[in-house]
Chain A
Amino acid sequence: MTNGLASRRAAIELDVVSLPGVRALYPSSPLPGAPKVVISEHGGAARCELRIAVDGDVAAEDLIREVTVAVRRAAGDDALELHIELASID
């Protein structure tokens, strides 16, 4: 299960950072070793949190839609809930 989570996190990270308009994923906290993709599960529902640095060329709401699609596809979970924070725009 832990392995499954780790590989899902890695797949999400890879797919998100390769989207045009995404500059970087930031760690979830300043603590050393903090993950960039946080997935939590309660009941049957999974939730994914991301902090993103984005390119000023791409409109935010378009990018959020693309990130949502990419994350759900990478996770193989169309019902995955997302929390996306745009932490930097340049």
Chain B
Amino acid sequence: MTDAPVSGVPAADDFDGHTLEELAEYLDRGRYPVDPSIESSPACRIALAGLQRLREIAGPLLQQEADAAARDDRWIDEVLGRISLESRAGRRFPFPDVPVGTEAVVTEGALRGLVRAIGDSIPGVLTGRVRFEPDESGTRLDLAVDVTVFYGTSIQSASAAFRERIALLLPRHAPFAVGALDLRVRDVLERGPEQP
């Protein structure tokens, strides 16, 4: 971090009147519009070829270094330990039918997790974004759920299974019946779910 600003050396116009920076920017523009003073200069063309090659090396550089390095993801487990504590709880919905002296709520985050898990348990389905809103009476929940399905999954029967399981299971864990369920297929994945 202590290098002084550069003066002189390579910025000198030593490519037939063009600087390396100009040539790099020309390359950034895809060598368009064509600049004859660059294209007709052997020095410029050699430098452009070099810059181009450098760029081709730069592109996959990190991926190659990543592939070559020993994999060590232990830090991820540590991070997960830290973030799970502040999971996204959101709103809190009270249960009406509980013992006297007890207040009990279920968090929005817990219900999202439940809906995700129900969706994931259907073969060929992965749950995405989950949104819901209680209706005006506060006893029914309208849901909007994005899903990804694996190629070959029948969207119709997966939707039916999702609907059925949500209607059965959600009321066991939340003070709500299931109202509207807006299921949106956002993506179709090519490979089968049995692959690792």
Chain A residues in the interface with B (C-beta under 8 A):
26-27, 29-30, 54, 56, 59-61, 64-65, 68, 79-90
Chain B residues in the interface with A (C-beta under 8 A):
85-87, 89, 92, 95, 97-99, 101-107, 109-111, 113-114, 117, 169, 172-174
A68 adjacent to B117 (CB under 8 Å): no
Cα(A29)–Cα(B87), bound, Å: 11
9 smallest A-B Cβ distances: which pairs?
A30-B85, A86-B106, A84-B104, A82-B102, A59-B172, A89-B114, A30-B86, A64-B104, A60-B173
- Main secondary structure, interface of A, reads mixed
Instruction: Closest A residue to B83 by CB, please name it.
Output: A30
With A81-B101, A89-B173 given, is the CB distance from A60 to B86 under 8 Å? no
Cα(A85)–Cα(B99), bound, Å: 14
Nearest Cβ on chain B to A20's Cβ, whole angstroms: 15
**Can you name 13 A-B residue pairings with CB atoms under 8 Å?**
A54-B173, A59-B172, A64-B104, A65-B99, A81-B102, A83-B103, A84-B104, A84-B105, A85-B92, A85-B107, A86-B104, A86-B106, A89-B173
A61 proximity list for chain B (CB < 8 A): 95, 97-98, 104
B85 proximity list for chain A (CB < 8 A): 26-27, 29-30
Cα(A84)–Cα(B104), bound, Å: 5
17 further A-B contacts with Cβ under 8 Å, apart from A30-B85, A60-B174, A89-B110, are: A56-B117, A60-B95, A61-B97, A61-B104, A64-B104, A79-B101, A81-B102, A85-B104, A85-B106, A86-B104, A87-B107, A87-B109, A88-B87, A88-B110, A89-B106, A89-B113, A90-B117
